[in-house]
Chains A and B, each alone.
Chain A
């Protein structure tokens, strides 16, 4: 008596559906991170450094190893304003 493969077809369909959606989400996340693996466990230091990278290169995950910053970099750190009650 062989393996009842017809009974395993639904499991195969579920596996394929989960696999396809997981792979698609993973690919989207990869592309959103500039074709690099996404970062995790970010603390305030890492967020601040990534903000600096964005000011330097224009992309959140962009990197550059030039020695001198582009012109206008020293002025591009903004004061972030918050609304007050008055």
Chain B
């Protein structure tokens, strides 16, 4: 369990040993950082129980949970892959526009709220998933629903 970055790293080692045969094979998610950032709240909306289970398993294992938490990890991967699959099938254009905007803006969600509104509406209509920010105080508008984004660079993309 590496806790720090290696110093003076020159060589790498790639271990091609396959996983044991008794572990079910789950394909890794092929989405990179901007699409994952864009879909993150929808993955959270559908997969919250599995994600909470995985986080609880890792927290309780106290740094040694790589093998013990494989089962919860497989559930997380399958659920996130299902959300991405559904978004690709139903809302591909809005999704692509939103993550292209995020990629141009340092992955900052508040620069791309206009496109995010379109994506949220499309996903809510087709997949019934709604983005909520956990921990919002009850008497305040959530940040993604506000009219004016105070840190956005230009007024067009708010």
| Residues in A lying within 8 Å of B, measured CB to CB | 36-37, 39-41, 46, 49-50, 52-53, 56-57, 61-70, 73-76, 78-83
Contact = CB atoms under 8 A, between A and B. Distances in A.
How many chain B residues sit at the interface, stated as a range, is: 20 to 34
B88 interface: yes
A63 B104 contact: no
A63 B35 CA distance: 8
Question: Chain B contact residues: over half helix, strand or loop, or mixed?
Answer: mixed
B10 A83 contact: yes
Given A49-B33, A53-B33, A62-B32, A79 B13 contact: yes
Given A52-B32, A81-B10, 17 more contacts: A37-B104, A41-B106, A46-B33, A50-B33, A63-B35, A64-B31, A65-B30, A65-B35, A65-B84, A65-B95, A67-B29, A68-B81, A74-B28, A78-B13, A80-B6, A82-B7, A82-B8
Nearest to A53: B32
Nearest to A35: B104
B107 interface: yes
B74 interface: no
B14 A57 contact: no
B88 A65 contact: yes
Given A65-B95, A67-B88, A56 B32 contact: yes
A64 B106 contact: no
A63 B99 contact: yes
